[in-house]
Structure 1
Amino acid sequence: MTNASDPRAPLLVAEGVRKVYRSGEVSVLALDDLDLTVRAGELVAVMGPSGSGKTTLLNCLSGLDDIDGGRVLVGGRDLFAMSDHERTEHRARTMGFVFQSYNLIPVFSAVENVELPLLLVGTDPAEARERALEMLGRVGLGERAAHRPNQMSGGEQQRVTVARALVARPAIVWADEPTGNLDTAMAVQIMDLLRELNRTDGQTIVLVTHDPAIGASAGRLIRMRDGRLVEDAPTGVPAPGGGGGGAPAARPAG
């Protein structure tokens, strides 16, 4: 599934989402009646202090974690009205993930890591290999396709994870602190790559970051505190196809 041709079409709609973590008799409200809309082609940064709910937000909106209330629609389909199997398959076909810890399979080469999401959804192996090599070329690693993760730098490994996230042409990519384990120069390269893919392909990306410079470089910046959205504003960075960020004007969101 690819992004809708209309760059302003709602791709993700979250309504009244609640998430509670429980440990014995202790309950922690991680997401508090949260509403959010992300449109196709947006690059959205999520910021907030530690414990504000940023990673929980990504996990719940992607269906990796269950929710305790509300609903989440991706591409018009309610994630939590699906069975676990249906949700897993929907996620595999419509979403890509970039994690801080890379999560590459160490015994696989770069191209084998990148082609894996395609093979899991039944893509012909020859086509999967061709698309994986093409995507590695796009992220500047065409000559490193046969290398294993331990033969690559941290920045190169993160480029492999970006290629893996994008190879199935997902509707939306979730990135949780994608530059957190990188030095400043490598972090700049990864963010330049994500912005380029957003600008040239209209790839929808929602990323969590603690870096104000990264937040300011997205088209739209969301701030969280105590499980709620407290600010949602465009940054002034043009969205693909022209126009500003996803939110029409700076506003409180809680």
Structure 2
Amino acid sequence: MSRFSVAARTARHPAERPVGDGDALLVAQGVRKVYRTGELSVLALDDLDLTVRSGELVAVMGPSGSGKTTLLNCLSGLDEIDGGHVLVEGNDLFEMSDHARTEHRARSMGFIFQSYNLIPVFTAVENVELPLLLVGVPAEEARERAVAMLGRVGLAHRERHRPNEMSGGEQQRVTVARALVARPAIVWADEPTGNLDSAMAAQIMDLLRQLNADDGQTIVLVTHDPVIGAAASRLIRMRDGRLAGDSTTVPPADAGDAMRP
């Protein structure tokens, strides 16, 4: 099938549902995504299969336009898909209503964005506690957990500061704390070091590796930086909406040092 083609949404049937294996946290099967602009249709994900197991730190790399961010958005349920299945913790995201999918995402997923996406009038602790408040955690407990998580990422001394009073690296640490405070099953990170210099990027990657190693936190990150990719325990390469490579490695203990100038 041409990459420039229209894909009809695949009918879903219980017999076609993918089955996870072992400790699989996410199972994607036959995922297709088409972007349409006027008469032009671009096949962004082409019958893609992927399994992510609990506790993995996965980096997704590929040239511009290869489908990296589209993959993250579709596997997290932020974007609709045009065919296939995506199961997270055994739940098919696209069999859910929009409301149920949003609730599942709030409870089971965390997000780290390149542009931080912090609320500028909120302090660091208010930004971090917000996801907890949105899912009904009592205010006192939400504040305690937010303070504790800021301590985990080395920002206990900045909890009362607003984003414009912090460096880029500190703001990204706040986004990491916000992504993790609800104890999600999986954290998605889209170019989490893209706006940082090499020293700050190394610190953020060291932090993600530490959280993955110490807590078993599952993390899937998109990056264009081969040094960041090499610091993950699994590297997926994409090209033209398909997986072009999938390798498991053991990053060196000083992987973060290689990122520093």
Q: Please report how far the alpha carbon of residue 237 of structure 1 lies from its aligned counterpart in structure 2 after TM superposition.
A: 3.2
Report the equivalent of 2:80.
Answer: 66
Q: Establish whether residue 18 from structure 1 lines up as the match of residue 36 from structure 2.
A: no
Cα distance in 2 for partners of 1:162, 1:61 equals: 19
Tell me the TM-score normalised to structure 2 length: 0.88
Cα distance in 2 for partners of 1:237, 1:86 equals: 37
Superposition pairs for residues 30-179 of structure 1, below 5 Å?
30-179=44-193
Q: Please report how far the alpha carbon of residue 235 of structure 1 lies from its aligned counterpart in structure 2 after TM superposition.
A: 1.8
- Structure 1 segments of 4+ aligned residues over 3 angstroms from their partners: none
Matched AA of 1:98: I
Task: Structure 1 unaligned segments of length 5 or more: list them.
Answer: 1-7, 239-254
Of 210, 217, 224, 1:196 maps to 210
Percent identical: 82
Report the equivalent of 1:4.
Answer: none
Cα distance in 1 for partners of 2:225, 2:61 equals: 8
Q: Deviations over 1:139-186 (max 9, x none)?
A: 000010000000000000000000000000000000000000000100
Cα distance in 1 for partners of 2:249, 2:225 equals: 14
Q: Considering only aligned residues, what root-mean-square deviation do their CA atoms show, in Å? A: 0.8
Cα distance in 1 for partners of 2:246, 2:108 equals: 25
Report the equivalent of 2:256.
Answer: none
Cα distance in 1 for partners of 2:113, 2:243 equals: 22
Q: Deviations over 1:84-107 (max 9, x none)?
A: 000000000000000000000000
Residue 223 of structure 1 aligns to a residue in which SS? strand
Tell me the TM-score normalised to structure 1 length: 0.90
Residue 199 of structure 1 aligns to a residue in which SS? helix
Cα distance in 2 for partners of 1:180, 1:56 equals: 17
Residue 214 of structure 1 aligns to a residue in which SS? helix
Residue 52 of structure 2 aligns to a residue in which SS? strand
Cα distance in 2 for partners of 1:216, 1:153 equals: 26
Matched AA of 2:129: E
Of 229, 245, 249, 2:243 maps to 229
